[in-house]
Structure 1
Amino acid sequence: MTRNIFDNNRRRFIKSGTLFLTTALVGVPEMAQTENYKKNPFTLVYKGAITENLPGQVNIHPVSYMLHGLKIAANVYTPPGYTTPLKYPAIVVAHPNGGVKEQVAGLYAQRLAELGYVTITADAAYQGASEGEPRQTDKPYYRIEDIHGMADFVSHYAGVDPSRIGLLGICGGGGYSLAASQTDKRFKAVATLSMFNSGRVRRNGYEDTQISTIQERLRLASEARAEEANGGKVLYIGDQKLTDAQIAALPFVLYRQGFEYYGKTHAHPNSSSRYTMSSLLDLMRFDATDHIDLIDKPLLMIAGSNADSLYMTQDAFSKATGTSDKKLFIIPGATHIETYWVPKYVNAAVNEMRSFFKRTL
């Protein structure tokens, strides 16, 4: 009986619109060229990606390490002319919700390596090529620990100066980077790109449109956890297969362009928009801006002027009162997803990061 009620409620919530479509995912005004992971030896899916390691250029190094008993898959990028007798500053790059290291996080890791940094980006635990069951578990504690874990690893990487480590978080990784850097003082500078406050969106809905359904959604998530605990089926959110017409009818630009980016132009088999419904118990009590005043290091927050997610960056920036060295950089004309791949917007973001990290690291 309970299972039938749960299934009926779940179908009703999904059918009613976007009550559970609160992933940072999918028609882009400027159509992106499709990047095929099969054509890249490192399965990278961004324009200008490394295809081979050559002397004197940025090189990529697939690595793995253990974090809380799980094997984490990561890529380290080393700068042109990298040699271990020298000491380099490093930057940790945290990927978006549903993303993997081969997509936008890899693009920015490569671009920052071109500027002379050792960079690392890893698949979140329970996601991508990293270990963890159930798959696509998406809990803030794990995502924050992923960031600490990347810092652990890169701090001891050959040639890295552990006193000069920066942090870049993209989309959901941006919100988790704000949380991680509140207490992890190894990060000497923090930047976010198109920051997405996962807890606020899972709790209140995108643009705070689902506040009236919080308690009912929590009841459904509680039932999902109970079913898992009893050895039943693991239930997921965000795994619907939508037609082009259904995508075009989604109410937010972020979701429409996200389906395009993750599902078509920059698709990767390890990337998934779904997450376990039971994760909502943790997500909905989290907020990236809680205790944000603990950040006492230089802070750069970047977002597009046309991004419907801009309100989250603006809110976090205003609450970051613990540092006087902070800057909000708005990219004119850019939407959230366009900062992931459109060359002029990527260049604008990288140029701002160039001066920021040069000054702070």
Structure 2
Amino acid sequence: MTQSIKFKNRAWENAALLLLPDNFDEKQKYPAIISVHPIGSCKEQTSGNVYGKALAEAGYIVLAIDASFQGESGGSPRFIEDPYERIEDIRCAADYLMTLPYIDEDRIGILGVCGGGAYSLNAAMTERRIKAVVSITGVNFGRLTREGFAGGTPIETLDAIAKQRTAEARGSELLVNDLLPASVEIAQKNGITDIDVLEATEYYKTPRGQKPNGATSAMFSRLGVAIGWDAFFMAEELLTQPILVVIGEKPGAFGAYRDGFEIVRRAASAKKELLVVKGQSHYDLYDKPEAVSQALEKVIPFFKENL
């Protein structure tokens, strides 16, 4: 059973899917998982319709959320990708779960995919209601942005953002960039060969993964905050919950492979595990049955053990 719900954030509401297990009984107490979507994605994609669905079938209540300024959530202007707000989204999702009488408040976990994976790890550092964390092909969006994802070196990008933000303050049209090429064919014609960019385009720009609210867009003038943010800052001291980090064996430019090794090395968690899924890539782990099944073979027992 799936319910579309809204929960309170600051001056707006966030949209989410509440996935309930079979034979749900509101008089019982259930463990819950907050499921966090990738950058430029939405709750109806991999975080909800793949991992959220599987976890609900395994007996968990899953709250698959849309980020503020994205999907069906509130917040204006649209398409802001703000790491600090993404963490607040998770806190507000936890607040909402605390209002449900059938949730066991001491058994709250979190799972995130791609950028959502690193957001989940970061949120757990300061949100102690989260008791266990799973990162699926997690990407540190701060590191990715500093390395040129926004179009240049950090200082070049910050200078361009400053000019654009000034122009917008004076009435210019908002600049919203599509994070991906329009098609795989166009990407290849432009000389793009990286596996992550090509497979992301194949996922988001074709019926395989395309959804109305999976915009793969970001407002350029608000990306400066990402350059100064790091998902893994203070992990050595503050990340103490059990963590499971899942990455594909095939590395790509978005850097989930190296980010996975880094956070497992740095986390203070006494219980931490890295799963490298053989022969699979970043986007295989979004929805390809072979990759997802191998991930879930670890994910479901991990939550059962730690929640």
TM superposition shift of 1:85? 1.4
Give me the whole-angstrom Cα distance separating, in 2, the residues matched to 1:70 and 1:298.
Answer: 32
Give me the whole-angstrom Cα distance separating, in 2, the residues matched to 1:213 and 1:317.
Answer: 27
2:285 aligns with 339
Give me the whole-angstrom Cα distance separating, in 2, the residues matched to 1:222 and 1:278.
Answer: 7
TM, length-normalised to structure 2: 0.93
1:63 aligns with 5
Give me the whole-angstrom Cα distance separating, in 2, the residues matched to 1:341 and 1:130.
Answer: 24
1:161 aligns with 104
Cα 1:131–1:306 shift into 2, 3 Å:
same
Give me the whole-angstrom Cα distance separating, in 2, the residues matched to 1:240 and 1:152.
Answer: 34
The question of whether the paired residues in 2 share the 8 Å contact of 1:307 and 1:334 is answered with no
Structure with more strand by fraction: 2
1:259 aligns with 201
Structure having the higher Rg: 1
Give me the whole-angstrom Cα distance separating, in 1, the residues matched to 2:164 and 2:199.
Answer: 29
Give me the whole-angstrom Cα distance separating, in 2, the residues matched to 1:240 and 1:267.
Answer: 13
TM superposition shift of 1:157? 2.0
TM superposition shift of 1:240? 6.7
Cα 1:307–1:233 shift into 2, 3 Å:
same
2:153 aligns with 213
TM superposition shift of 1:81? 1.1
TM superposition shift of 1:239? 5.7
Give me the whole-angstrom Cα distance separating, in 1, the residues matched to 2:27 and 2:156.
Answer: 58
- Percent same amino acid at aligned positions? 32
TM superposition shift of 1:272? 1.1
Amino acid at match of 2:146: R
Aligned to 1:92, the other structure's residue is in SS state strand
Give me the whole-angstrom Cα distance separating, in 1, the residues matched to 2:153 and 2:227.
Answer: 12
Give me the whole-angstrom Cα distance separating, in 2, the residues matched to 1:345 and 1:240.
Answer: 23
TM superposition shift of 1:232? 2.1
TM superposition shift of 1:229? 2.2
Cα offsets for 1:103-160 (capped at 9, x unmatched): 1011211100111100101110100111111110111111111111111112222411
Amino acid at match of 1:343: P
Aligned to 2:119, the other structure's residue is in SS state helix
The reply to whether residue 302 of structure 1 matches residue 249 of structure 2 is no
Structure 2: runs of 5+ lacking an equivalent? none
The question of whether the paired residues in 1 share the 8 Å contact of 2:196 and 2:283 is answered with yes
Matching residue within 201, 205, 213 for 2:144:
201
Aligned to 2:75, the other structure's residue is in SS state coil
1:15 aligns with none
TM, length-normalised to structure 1: 0.80
Cα 1:360–1:244 shift into 2, 3 Å:
closer
The reply to whether residue 329 of structure 1 matches residue 275 of structure 2 is yes
Deviates more, 1:333-342 or 1:212-221: 212-221
Counterparts of residues 93-242 of structure 1 (less than 5 Å): 93-106=35-48, 107-205=50-148, 213-238=153-178, 242=182
Aligned to 2:117, the other structure's residue is in SS state helix
The reply to whether residue 275 of structure 1 matches residue 218 of structure 2 is yes
2:306 aligns with 360
The question of whether the paired residues in 2 share the 8 Å contact of 1:307 and 1:335 is answered with yes
